[in-house]
Amino acid sequence: MCSWTSVIVLFLFTSATIAGKRKSEPESIGFPESEEDPALANKDDRQPVYIPATCPIGELFYPGDQKDDWICDCRPAYLYHPKTDQCWPAYRTGPCSNGYYLVLGPDSAIPYCEKNPCIIDSMVMYSGKCELLNTISPCNSVWPDFEVLTVNSTTLTITCEKLIFETRFKEKETIFPKCPTGGKRSINGKCRPNSTQ
């Protein structure tokens, strides 16, 4: 289990390293981010970090294969679009024309624009109806087990996911994929065969 002390030490080390390399940029602040699927293992218990001055919008700073190796890659439920060289949220307009959204098909390694049957950005088809993403009403859940309609970061499908109300300081240990499906490294063929689970 990763202790907060080790996370803070890692954060300070990473910040100092980046600050040394980027003297002309403003100071960076990093925040550990969590993903949905705890079954995906990270061998060294290192978590991705959100450092705005280090990675482009839509990306997190992920641990690489070596102890001091870190790399920017897409956030959970975001897809890397090679033509724009950016990460965009799945099932959102992103780089697509109005009335379309970005998806990753079951037999595709590259995301593509698909006609959104609901036409409006943030609206998706769920249970035969157009529903607004990131809302609880389509999931018919009740307190204390609220669920929200969202994109599952592992399967990249529209599902109802349980909301976790714990604060950042009480989060359960989460484990992260080393090379998530739809990410920049995955699409560019830079994942090692044994780096995903």
pLDDT value, residue 86: 94
HSE-CB for 69 with a 13 A CA cutoff: 6
What predicted TM-score, i.e. pTM, was given to this entire model? 0.63
Residue 172 to residues 70, 106, 129: CA-CA distances in angstroms? 23, 30, 34
The mean per-residue pLDDT over the stretch 38-50 comes to: 61
pLDDT at 118 over 90: yes
Interacting residues of 77 by C-beta distance below 8 A, sequence separation 6+:
89, 90, 150, 151, 152, 153, 156
Per-residue pLDDT for 89 more than 60?
yes
Task: Spell out the domain ranges in the chain.
Answer: 4-76
Alpha-carbon gap, residue 130 to 136, rounded angstroms: 14
The pLDDT score that the predictor gives to residue 26 is: 46
| 146 CB-contact burial (10 Å; exposed 0-12 / middle 13-18 / buried 19+) | middle
What whole-number distance in Å separates Cα of residue 71 and Cα of residue 33? Answer: 15
Instruction: For the chain, give the mean pLDDT.
Output: 76
Spatial distance between the Cα atoms of 23 and 62, rounded to a whole number of angstroms: 22
pLDDT tens, 128-160? Answer: 999 999 998 899 876 767 889 999 988 899 999
Using an 8 Å Cβ cutoff, are 106 and 181 in contact?
no
Averaged pLDDT for residues 71-91: 93
Q: Is the pLDDT of residue 22 over 50?
A: no
Q: How many CB atoms lie within 10 A of CB 127?
A: 11
Please state the φ and ψ torsions of residue 168, each to the nearest 5 degrees. -60, -30
Whether the pLDDT of residue 197 is over 50: the answer is no
Residue 114 CB contacts under 8 Å (≥ 6 apart), including other chains: 100, 101, 102, 103
Structure tokens at 193: 């065969």
